[in-house]
Structures are given as structure tokens and as C-alpha cells.
Amino acid sequence: MDAEQLLDIQGLKLNLPDGTRLLEGVSLRLNAGEALGVVGESGSGKSLTAMSVMGLLPGLKASGSILFSGQELVNLPDKVMRKLRGARIAMIFQDPMTAFLPVRSIGAQIDEQIRLHHRVSRREARARTVQLLERMGVPDPAMAAKRYPHQLSGGLRQRAMIAMALSCTPALLIADEPTTALDVTVQAQILTLLREIREEGAGVMLITHDMGVVAQACTHVAVMYSGLVVENGPVRDVLDRPLHPYTQALLAAIPPLDGPRPERLPTISGQPPTPDNRPTGCVFAPRCSFVRSECAVRPPLTEIEEGRRVACVLYAA
């Protein structure tokens, strides 16, 4: 597949003002028409990566490179970034209850985004809002636009959130755990929606804890651990044949969908390192059962097969 390269993150590092390094050099790629699932334990830096792409981390110093359609986003002036944000790159957040302003109607908030980026009248914006809500499967969209966030169910709110994110037809949609706060049936509907968006040609970056979600909605997956991407590849390949010991452990910790349930699921012993006590070598080495002496030097993320990249000494040529 030689689709247009939409997002190319190379060695993205993020430092706190005191020098603590939160991201250790994240590398990711995403093409138009693909959906990249980003998985990893809590605190591995998934949200930070997403927020860096949005340019929404003013307090943190970023270095490395984020190329979006060939444009460098790291250290882009906020004025320029603002034109992209919401228009070309949009984001959906985990909790649709708190993500909307509670004191204004859903419609008014979607109108606002449209009018921030396009010179249209209030009425035209509202017409577009209603159209979007309808496309997202919101029943009686004209009425729903007049409602306030607390008057809608969680599922409808998240649909409205997606409608808002899509209001300016972004090329890249970032969804940070969009279904975590929703029940299973609603979750499936939202994932279907995301798949449609991707099939229409947008790139989707889907952050989640849930391998099941990745399998359902994504074409590619990146596994993050302690501020690094340790494995990256097409979903089927990675799920069928995980290469990095951390990915293997992560997949082994999920109960199988069919067949007998094992007595006990294997868990990964130990805790992921915090940003202050990250090992200088491979970040997973302290918990890895294949650890060897070469692990004292951090392995780079290298391409070992067509489209598959892994950062582990086991696969060094």
C-alpha cells in the first residue's frame, strides 16, 4: 500500500522543565486511510504523544520531529498551529461528559468550531452541525443540537464529540480512549463510526488500553512502553506473531476469546519504570524474561520485515 504519508513522528522527546524526560524518543508513522492503534500500560506516554501532535503541551519542551503532511509541527508557532488544530488535526477525548462546556448547547459548541475555521454565517454553520449529527446517527439531530451536554446520554455525547471533531473534515483524527467511558454496545457503534471515517480517507490514531478495540478498529498498531514505541506493525501480524517480549506478555495477559479459559492469566511481574528511574538500556529489561547482556544498550526501533518494526536485541541482524 503506498498511501500518502500523513503523520511521521521521529524520535519525539518531551522534557519537563526540570529535565525529567517523559517521552524517550517516540517514532510512529501513519498513512491516510489507515487507523493506528496506540496501546500500552497506563503512564506509557500515549496521551502525551497525542497531545504533542496537537501542540497542546505548552509547559513541556519537545524535541525531535513530527511531520504532518510534510509540515514540521515541533516548535511551530502557536498562531500557525491554531489553524491546523480543529481544522486539519482533530481530537476526541475520553470523557464526553466533561469534554463539552456544560453551560452551552452541543450545537452551539459545534457551530463554534466550524466558525473558527470557516467564514460562514451562524445559520450555515448550524445547518452543517445538524447534518454532521445526523451522519453520526444522532436521532432528531436538529433537536439534539439545542440540547445541553448533561441532557444527552454518554453515547450521544460521544457521537456529538466526534461530529465536532469531524466538522472541518480533518485529515487526521486522534481519539484518546474514546470508548473507555461507554458501555459495550455503544462502544461497538463508536468503533464502527471510526472505521467509516477511516474508510473515507482520513487517518485515525486511536489510543486505547484494549487489544480487542485495536483488533476491531485498527489497521496498524504501535505498542508503547515507558515513553517509547517498542513495536509497530500491521494489526494482524502483531496480534498473530508478537515479536517484542513486552507485546507477547501484553497479549498473553488477555483472556482468549474462544476455547477454555486458563486457570490463571500470566501477568507481567514488576512495575513499569517511572520517568525518573528509567534504565539507560532497554526500558523493558528489568521485567523481561529474555534479558541478556546486550540489553544494557538501548536497542533502536528497527524495521525487520516489510512494515514491521521492533526495538529488541532478539531481532538484531
Partner 1 sequence: MIRSFLSRTGQMALVIFGISVLVFCIFFATPGADPTARIAGRGASPQVMARIRAEYGFDRPLPVQYVRMMEKLFVTRDLTSFVNHGQKVVPEVVSAAPVTLSLVVWAAFFWVVGSLVIGVASAVLRDSWVDRLLMVLGLIGLSMPVFWLGEVINLFTQSRWHDTWLFRWVPPLGYVPLSQSPIGWAKSLLLPSLTLSVSFMGLYARILRSELLSAMGEDSIRTARAKGAGPARVWLWHGLRLSWLSYVSLFGLDFAQLLGGGALLTEVVFALPGVGRLTYQALATLDLPLIMATVMYAAVFVVIANALVDGLYALLDPRIRDGQHGR
Ligand X SMILES: Nc1ncnc2c1ncn2[C@@H]1O[C@H](COP(=O)(O)OP(=O)(O)OP(=O)(O)O)[C@@H](O)[C@H]1O
Q: Which residues form the interface with partner 1 (CB under 8 A)?
A: 54, 56, 82-87, 90-91, 93, 95, 98-105, 112-113, 116-117, 148, 150-151, 164
CA pair distance 193, 189, nearest whole angstrom: 6
| 278 makes contact with ligand X (CB under 6 A) | no
**Span interacting with Mg ion, options 26-34, 39-47, 66-74, 78-86, rule CB under 5 A:** 39-47
Q: Which whole-number Å values give the CA distances from 215 to 3, 105, 209, 210, 220, in the listed order? A: 21, 35, 12, 9, 9
The reply on whether position 193 binds ligand X by CB under 6 A is no
Compute the least distance from the CB of residue 125 to Mg ion, in Å.
31
In the bound state with ligand X, the residue whose beta carbon lies nearer, of 47 and 187, is 47
221 touching ligand X, by CB under 6 A: no
Question: What is the arrangement of strands in the sheet containing 21-31, beginning at the earlier edge strand?
Answer: 21-31, 5-15, 61-68, 71-72
Task: Decide: is 16 part of the binding site for ligand X (CB under 6 A).
Answer: yes
Binding of ligand X by 36 (CB under 6 A): no
Nearest of 230, 315, 175 to residue 41 by alpha carbon: 230
Would you count residue 42 as binding ligand X (CB under 6 A)? yes
β-sheet bridge partners, residue 231: 223, 310
User: C-beta of 280: minimal distance to partner 1 in Å?
Assistant: 34
Are the C-beta atoms of 33 and 215 separated by less than 8 Å?
A: no
Only one of the segments 41-49, 211-219, 257-265, 286-294 lies at the binding site for Mg ion (rule: CB under 5 A); that segment is 41-49
Contact call for residues 51 and 59 (beta carbons, < 8 A): no
Whether 48 and 207 have beta carbons less than 8 Å apart is answered as: no
Tally the residues of the chain: 317
Q: Does 46 bind ligand X (CB under 6 A)?
A: yes
Binding mask 42-81 for Mg ion (x = CB under 5 A): -----x----------------------------------
Q: Of 79 and 261, which CB lies nearer to partner 1 in the complex structure?
A: 79
According to DSSP, the β-strands at 35-39 and 203-207 are parallel
Amino acid code (one letter) for 190 = I
For ligand X, the closer CB: 43 or 245: 43
Binding partner of residue 312 among partner 1, ligand X, Mg ion, none, CB cut-off 5 to 8 Å per kind: none
Helix axes 184-199, 154-166, angle to 10 degrees: 10
Q: How far is the CB of 150 from partner 1 (least distance, A)?
A: 5
DSSP state of 42: T
- The Cα 84–Cα 222 span in angstroms is 24
Which spans of this chain sit near ligand X (rule: CB under 6 A)? 16, 22, 40, 42-48, 59, 209, 275
Which spans of this chain sit near Mg ion (rule: CB under 5 A)? 47
